[in-house]
Amino acid sequence: MSNARVPRKGADRNGLYALGCLLLVGTFLALSLVVAKLADGAGAPRLTFLMAAMTGAGIVLSAIGAMQRKTMRINLRSLEYATVAGALFAVPNALAFLAIRHVGAGFISLSFAFPILITWVLAVWLSLERLRALRLLGVLLGLSGGLVLAMAKAGGAGDALGWVLLVLAMPLLIALGNIYRTLRWPTGTSPVFLAALMMFGGAATLLPFVLLFEPGQFPALLTSGAAMQLLLVEIAVFSVLYLFYFVLQKLAGPVYLSQIGTVAALVGTLIAVLALGEAPPPNLGLAALLVALGTLLFHRGARAASIPKGATTT
């Protein structure tokens, strides 16, 4: 009997670790959007700010990997990973940074509640995960909480409706990124190095757009005290966020990872209302309850779910 208990205890510890990472990553994802909102208010060029934050976080994560003596191979596979994962990361984040002044940090946060359903459908379709009723119920509850808030926001969008629709297109790219990183996870590569690669790939993706739409604005970013302080904060937030982002994906797979959106939706909305002065959306309490219930049910269903093959590499 003692031998039967050990795996269960190990699974319980992994489950608690995954839940802790989930809450941490979801909260920092919401914080990154809040910093973006503050940087936009400080007059920072939005794409330049995002590219500089990605580059800085990539340097920090590379330094962490070097200090930990992690494997950091540069080859065609890792360059492909940096390019594709970086692009699938950079484009939705760029959309968020551009739209935030039009729809607010709260609504941008809410959009991150949607990728979970798309990721789950793709994972089941690709046989990365089995179809399980409890996890499906958790996904649907969390998604419904995000939809309750998003519909309320879209109903009062007015002239910003185009930006609302554009933001709602982000979840597909995020879900594709979740699946790609699992399927193409390079064998024997550490999460911290892959996080650094994604940061550098994302910055490279944004560079042509920065040169086209914000030429010559990087010096202005460095000479503005407020913008520079916010840039340093964003680099720190990105470094913590995406280090544990990859740890969580390796530990629990792409569908579990995508739950960070429901956490970010709730935390980001609360921060936007309490700290940034945005108007609270209708039915916030109902949405929060649905998100919390969905996350708990999904977490309970995770014990029986299969582990994606890309998440088990070391």
Backbone angles phi, psi at 69, to 5 degrees: 55, 40
The CA distances from residue 203 to 32, 84, 89, 208, 217, in Å, are 16, 12, 10, 10, 16
- Mean predicted lDDT score pLDDT of the chain: 80
pLDDT at residue 194, as a whole number: 92
What is the pLDDT averaged over residues 100-119?
A: 72
Would you give the end-to-end CA distance of the chain in angstroms? 30
Q: Is the pLDDT of residue 267 over 90?
A: no
What is the pLDDT averaged over residues 173-198?
A: 89
- pTM of the full structure: 0.80
Q: Is the pLDDT of residue 168 over 80?
A: no
What is the pLDDT averaged over residues 217-223?
A: 84
Q: Which two tokens stand for residue 171?
A: 């979840």
Residues with Cβ within 8 Å of residue 106, at least 6 apart in sequence: 153, 268, 269, 272, 273, 276, 278, 281
Domain range summary for the chain, segments of one domain joined by +: 21-303
98 neighbors 38 (Cβ within 8 angstroms): no
Residues with Cβ within 8 Å of residue 155, at least 6 apart in sequence: none
What is the pLDDT averaged over residues 223-229?
A: 88
Q: Is the pLDDT of residue 273 over 80?
A: no
Q: Is the pLDDT of residue 2 over 70?
A: no
